[in-house]
Amino acid sequence: MSTSSKNGIPGHPAPNANGAPPEVRGKGDELQQQAGGTHPVLSTQQGIPVPDNQNSLRATPKGPTLLEDFILREKITHFDHERIPERIVHARGSAAHGFFELTESLEQYTTARVLTETGKRTPVFTRFSTVAGGAGSVDTPRDVRGFAVKLYTDEGNWDIVGNNIPVFFIQDAMKFPDFIHAVKMEPDRGFPQAASAHDTFWDFVTLVPETMHTMIWAMSDRAIPRSLRMMEGFGIHSFRLINAQGESTFVKFHWRPKLGLQSTVWDEAAKLQGADNDFHRRDLFEAIEAGQYPEWEFGVQLFTEEDAAGFPFDHLDPTKLIPEELVPLRIVGRMVLDRWPDNLFAETEQVAFCPANVPPGIDFSNDPLLQGRLFSYLDTQLSRLGGSNFAQIPINAPKCPFHNNQRDGHLQMQVHKGRVAYEPSSLQADAPRASLQQGFRSYAQLDDGVKGRVRAESFADHYSQPRQFWNSQLPVEQAHIASALVFELSKVETAHVREAMVGHLRHIDEGLAQRVADGLGMTELPAAPPAKVPPQDLPPSPPLQLIGKAKDTLQGRTIGILVSDGSNQETVAKVRAAAEKEGAMVKIVAPKLSVKLKDGSQLVADGQLAGTPSMVFDAVASVLKPEEGERLAKDGAAVEWFANAYGHLKAIAACKGTRVILHKANVEDDAGVVEIEDVEGFIAAAKTRQWEREPKVRTLA
């Protein structure tokens, strides 16, 4: 096979003899040798040759990343400043104000008052986002979602900067610019926008096997959420809690939605991009406006150094999660979002999160990705928000008193008084002083080893947890993952990249690899690449499911009722009342924005039929007189309204006048298609998707 790409540009590493791409988790010289061909030596912008572009410089194999790593700093600094002023990642975001309330004290583990003072409400600002797309992209692509919470505590701001997936693609911050460059639009053509279904992303994934765990999460229904209100949030990294005695306990942070988890189906997500670019933002806004305030439980996983030593993985590896069966989730608080921002730019766009913002009593672990993020997030704000005084922007400023000797600078908004701007000093009685008693304390950890560009051997298992995730899914969820992989890889033009990915899938599950190979039309399975650590068969973990964890509820859901001239107002009112009693929002859809009902009253619709497709609802009902049903059966928008609702596995309540449209839309009777008179049956069916219908409406891998 040629080492040239399809368009004749040389440079892609040739596959190994078994057809698999080379393993790239080695030193720079090994990479150069494996890649083949003639390559210039990678260097810094100062021309200094780079010995290893895979690993940050660390004090010991499992120790902290060193500030002296000028190669890491230059690489990330340049990456952070590539675009101004839009965020490089997480550019498309929606946010809301609210509060955090602690329900169980963690005083045994930490001195952080926000985690010890129960009942106290701490203001928060939470921003949800997509990762790959620009600020003008749509809300609903297949993508990881950012989940960032700024808590304005009495001891300073605390930022929990995470995602809706508990693991990340890479293990070391050194690789973050490479990963984002791979998933973003291809630089020579400027597309695809907000999508991972292209060659450069999958090329990177196949060459960096540590990505496999997050990859399979991203191919699951977790990456196409129904609503921002129905996503989990994860802090991803291990942090430390430090108590009054200076003792350390590791912790992972979780947000669990009170509404439960719910996703769209892929066809629905794709069509939502055309139906409503702002679907998630609008959904969050309307829920808050309606007083249906989104709420999450706040949970922690607590474990000791001794516990961690017994795990079959390294918790400092951000591509790994801790199954809840191993360390149970302990719910200790809640977050409620109850106020929409007054100004999108001033708040949602100017908010600056940084995982380095933690109050005393919380500390960092040696997770090498976290170590790089502690630098990167602060650095990127300097250019995005115009300089070092970005913390004075109201949305970023702490709500507790703060004092320092930082002066002047671009966009300085404070008028500092007095002659002293240094410490120590003796000239001003109210000059700020450091406090050993109240100040932030780092955990005194001993590390043994030799510094170097190394990665701990405990990070080398790339397939066991992806296998565990796959084995934990319900059959319908596995079918969605396999189908997503077929879709994504079908967009990849380069054959050896497709083959390499299927080879990796063999380490996760032979059946999955075969399903994807069949979907791509491969006549035989490609060879699996060498695995540094053979995959383990870890026990299935049901909490990793989405459909299996979804709640049968109408809380937070939306039901659409189609009406037209002559519709029976009593039937409409009965369906609306039953849905609203269960906590659903109800919207009226009609061929025109105002219709005359059977009793002669006028009803103003919430949406016009052609502009309000059924994708924006969780279930639909229809109340039409027979002649209106006959007329709308000739209207493509009406036929698609029901065809899409049926194809997206939603409950449908239909009157006799609607039956002619259902016939035209090829809607067959099943448990989710009920008569409008059976309001109770409709409400029960609307609380969940009709998963048993799916094999009748689409072919899955």
Query: Could you read off the pLDDT of 269-316 as tens digits, one per residue?
Result: 999 999 999 999 999 999 999 999 999 999 999 999 999 999 999 999
Q: What's the whole-number mean pLDDT along residues 575-586?
A: 97
Query: Is-contact 614 642, C-beta < 8 A?
Result: yes
DSSP string over 616-635: G-SEEEEE--HHHHHHHTT-
Residue identified by tokens 């706040």 is 298
559: amino acid identity, one letter: I
Query: Could you read off the pLDDT of 649-682 as tens digits, one per residue?
Result: 999 999 999 999 999 999 999 999 999 999 999 9
Beta bridge partners of 106: none
**pLDDT at 32 exceeding the cut of 60:** no
pLDDT of 559: 98
pLDDT of 240: 97
Beta bridge partners of 241: 249, 362
What the block records as the tokens of 20 is 């698999």
Q: What's the whole-number mean pLDDT along residues 88-94?
A: 91
448: pLDDT confidence band, cut at 50, 70 and 90? low
Q: What per-residue string of b and e applies to 197-209 under the rule 16 or more CB within 10 Å gives b?
A: bbbbbbbbbbbbb
Of 13-27, 172-186, 416-430, 601-615, minimum mean pLDDT range: 13-27
Helix spans in 473-523 (H):
475-490, 495-508, 510-519
pLDDT of 446: 74
Spell out the residues 6+ positions from residue 471 whose beta carbon is closer than 8 angstroms to its own. Answer: 509, 537, 540
User: Known catalytic residues?
Assistant: 90, 163
Of 61-70, 136-145, 477-486, minimum mean pLDDT range: 61-70
Domain architecture of the chain: domains with CATH: 85-392 (2.40.180.10), 463-547 (1.20.1370.20), 552-697 (3.40.50.880)
pLDDT of 37: 65
pLDDT of 84: 55
pLDDT of 407: 84
CA-based torsion, 415, 419, 425, 429: positive or negative: negative
What the block records as the tokens of 316 is 């400092």
83: pLDDT confidence band, cut at 50, 70 and 90? low
546: amino acid identity, one letter: L
Question: Rounded to the nearest 5 degrees, what angle is found at the Cα of 458, between the Cα atoms of 452 and 460?
Answer: 90
Q: Please tell me the pTM assigned to this model.
A: 0.89
Query: Could you read off the pLDDT of 195-251 as tens digits, one per residue?
Result: 999 999 999 999 999 999 999 999 999 999 999 999 999 999 999 999 999 999 999
Of 18-22, 174-178, 339-343, minimum mean pLDDT range: 18-22
DSSP 606: S
First to last CA, the chain: 28
